[in-house]
Amino acid sequence: MTNRKMRWAGVLVAASIAVGLFSSSALAYLDTNNKPDRVVGGGSDTTYDMLALLQNVYNLSFGCETIAAAGHIQRLDGACMEPDTANTITTENYDHDVVSQMFPIGSSAGVNQLCAQGNKTNKPYRINFARSSRSPKVGSDCAGLRFVSYARDAIPWTHYVGAGSASPSVTNLTQQQIKDIFVNCTITNWSQVGGANVPIIVYAATKQSGTGPTFDGFIAGNAFNCIPSALKDGDLGNGEHVIRENDVSPIIANGDQNSAIFYSSYGRFQQNQPVDWELGLIDGVTPSAATIGDASYPYGRFLYNVYRSTTASVKASNATLDFLAEKDGWLCKAAADHSVDPVSGKNYRQLIEEQIEAAGFVPLGVGAVGGGVAGTSHCRALALTA
């Protein structure tokens, strides 16, 4: 038990009697060893900070007692002291599993890392799930993956609007204009879309990311297409224009910010808030939590956690499923299946949604799970990849 929990130990009994904090309809946990397990995520840059926020709520949630009562021997393996007290919260992280995140390497790289688990030749770092901001790639992703979405995001185009900018007056682009800039190379000057008579400098995100391939899907082409060959050769020493997703610092370092165009995760843009950069409208629709949530902003997407199912050679651990499974997992289940946090007085479902929103994204409402799974939850599942 953490110090935070110890401080509240004296109020739990009275609070539970007074307002019924603890749920008696807990869903069955798959992880029944009553000991803390480690659950490690890897992959996406886009969802890295959001998962860090969510894991903190999960790791600190109330569960079994771990401190021995007076006269009892203290266990040193982190396991639950038995039996449970009458007021034990069993709906959250019952045996205090520890979720953590590897530093981002990109969605596709994270999926590949997950697929390589158990490979004795490559010997990948051990992860239990992949963070992904892209949907499955049928035919290239390994068999037995399950993509579970839990939030929405969008990928607006972005540009610098500070002193010296060629495009401060350009606030809206049509989908065709965006394609003509990134794919067809027929719009090459800001004056063609209402800006100054200055050439547009195109930047694109790497293919290891989820944002890059997803944006390519929106524009029905390759966002690298209009970048000169010498600036997309992978040589970081010559002003490379194929850069890490959601990060405008290379554009600034190259001195191109006054005339560059790029694209960014809406949520990551809210987190980073680059000075004097703006997200653009598409077809007159402003990127916002409202337009992303109702899918009216054209370039919207789902955000996923990916695990390996029972058909995979290295399937997800029960502790992993308790955290993120599409129906009964902690991230996905409805408020009625969560308890109230005695410290904040909020249902854990509310705390989950607050963390998603704090990261700039939009949580999913209750709906049919899909992917061959009956019932409803706050997540959506895509069928196993072939």
Task: Say yes or no: 177 and 251 in one domain.
Answer: yes
Distance CA(215)–CA(320), nearest Å, equals 30
- Residues 14, 107: one domain? yes
Q: Are residues 312 and 267 in the same domain?
A: no
Residue 125's pLDDT is: 85
Residue ending a domain, among 262, 295, 328, is 295
- Structural domain ending residue among the three candidates 232, 264, 295: 295
Domains: count for the chain: 2
Q: What CA–CA distance (Å, rounded) separates 147 from 229?
A: 35
Contact (Cβ atoms closer than 8 angstroms) between residue 18 and residue 323: no
In sequence order, the 6+-apart residues with CB closer than 8 A to the CB of 328 are 27, 28, 337, 377
β-partners of residue 32 are: none
Neighbours of 379 (CB within 10 A): 28
**Residue 26: pLDDT over 60:** no
Same domain, 149 and 190: no
172 has a pLDDT exceeding 90: yes
Taking the C-alpha atoms of residue 183 and residue 264, their distance in angstroms, rounded to an integer, is 17
**Spatial contact of 62 and 92, defined as CB atoms under 8 Å apart:** yes
Last residue of a domain, one of 278, 295, 312: 295
Q: What is the mean pLDDT of residues 265-293?
A: 97
Note whether 112 and 148 are same-domain residues: yes
Q: Summarize pLDDT for 367-385 with one digit per residue, the tens.
A: 999 999 999 999 999 865 5
Tell me, what's the pLDDT at 237? 78
pLDDT band at 14 (very low <50, low <70, confident <90, very high): very low
Half-sphere exposure of 238 (CA within 13 A, CB side): 8
Model confidence at 198: pLDDT above 70? yes
Give me the pLDDT at residue 314, please.
83
Answer yes or no: do 278 and 338 share one domain. Answer: no
Mean pLDDT of 256-282: 97
Would you call 166 helix, strand, or coil by DSSP?
A: coil
Which tens digit of pLDDT belongs to each residue from 46-65?
A: 999 999 999 999 999 999 99
Residues 379 and 353: their CA atoms lie apart, in Å, by 12
Q: Are residues 24 and 122 in the same domain?
A: yes
With bands split at pLDDT 50, 70 and 90, how would you rate the model's confidence at 170?
Answer: very high
pLDDT digits (tens, 9 = 90+) for 66-123: 999 888 899 999 999 988 888 899 999 999 999 999 999 999 999 999 999 988 777 7
Mean pLDDT to the nearest integer, 27-34:
72
Q: Are residues 149 and 30 in the same domain?
A: yes
The model's pTM is 0.89
How far apart, in Å, are the Cα atoms of 370 and each of 326, 375, 377? 9, 8, 10
Give the pLDDT of residue 309.
Answer: 87
Task: Please report, for residues 35, 67, 85, 87, 351, the alpha-carbon distance to residue 9 in angstroms, rounded to integers and kept in the order given.
Answer: 21, 11, 12, 10, 21
| Adjacent-strand bridge partners of 370 | 373
- Tokens linked to 378: 């706050």
Residue 25: per-residue pLDDT: 37
Indicate if the pLDDT at residue 303 is higher than 70. Answer: yes
**Domain hosting residue 170, numbered range:** 156-295
Is residue 89 within 8 A of residue 62, CB to CB? The reply is yes
pLDDT digits (tens, 9 = 90+) for 222-254: 999 999 999 998 887 788 999 999 999 999 999
Average pLDDT over residues 34-50: 96
pLDDT band at 221 (very low <50, low <70, confident <90, very high): very high
Instruction: Look up the CATH number of the domain holding residue 309.
Output: 3.40.190.10
Residues 141 and 179 in one domain: no
Residue 155 in this model has a pLDDT that exceeds 90: yes
Find out whether 242 and 223 touch, Cβ atoms under 8 Å: no
Q: Does residue 30 sit in the same domain as residue 117?
A: yes
One domain, residues 83 and 99: yes
Mean pLDDT computed over every residue of the chain:
90
The DSSP line for 306-356 is EEE-TTSSSPPPHHHHHHH-TTTSTTTS-GGGS-B-TTT-SBHHHHHHHHH
Task: Report whether 203 contacts 215 (CB < 8 A).
Answer: no
Read off the amino acid at residue 9.
Answer: A
- Concatenated DSSP letters for 289-320? HHHHHTT-STTEEEEEEEEE-TTSSSPPPHHH
Same domain, 164 and 117: no
Alpha-carbon distance values, 376 to 126, 325, 366 (Å): 31, 12, 6
Contact 261, 203 (CB under 8 A): yes
